[in-house]
Amino acid sequence: MSNKHKNREGVVYSTNPDFQYTENNGEESEILPAQKQKLKIFTDTKMRAGKTVTVIEGFVGKENDLEALCKMLKTSCGAGGTIKDRLVLIQGDHKNKIIDLIKKKGYSIK
């Protein structure tokens, strides 16, 4: 069985004969150099059973670059972490350390 309609977004069925489906081609985000990116770094405890997480948002680039940034931050902080909805989540309050690491990499901080 073929899944040629798998990449269609937002509509299950349309009765409009002129309707054009929007297709997801899996394209990556545009790539910005580190100097032009403005990352926002903050700590958060909401919806995490009172545990603190350091959040990095605003990264623009390929998924592989985001994963490499997350891995570097986890290793440098000695903590666990993950990527959710293009946000890097590092376990614990490592805000000041992450700000220093991010600045050394050439990123701007909001």
1-54 per-position pLDDT tens digit: 455 656 666 666 668 888 776 665 555 456 788 888 899 999 999 888 889 999
94 found inside a domain: yes
CA 8 centroid distance within chain: 23
At 6 the pLDDT is: 61
17 found inside a domain: no
Interval 57-68: pLDDT, tens: 999 988 999 999
15 found inside a domain: no
- CATH number at 94 reads 3.30.780.10
87 found inside a domain: yes
**How many domains is the chain built from?**
1
Q: Is the pTM of this model over 0.85?
A: no
At 31 the pLDDT is: 75
Cα angle 17, 23, 28 (rounded to 5 degrees) comes to 160
41 found inside a domain: yes
20 found inside a domain: no
**86-110 mean pLDDT:** 93
1 found inside a domain: no
Q: Which domain covers residue 49, as residue numbers?
A: 28-109
At 8 the pLDDT is: 60
At 70 the pLDDT is: 95
3-state secondary structure of 56: strand
2 found inside a domain: no
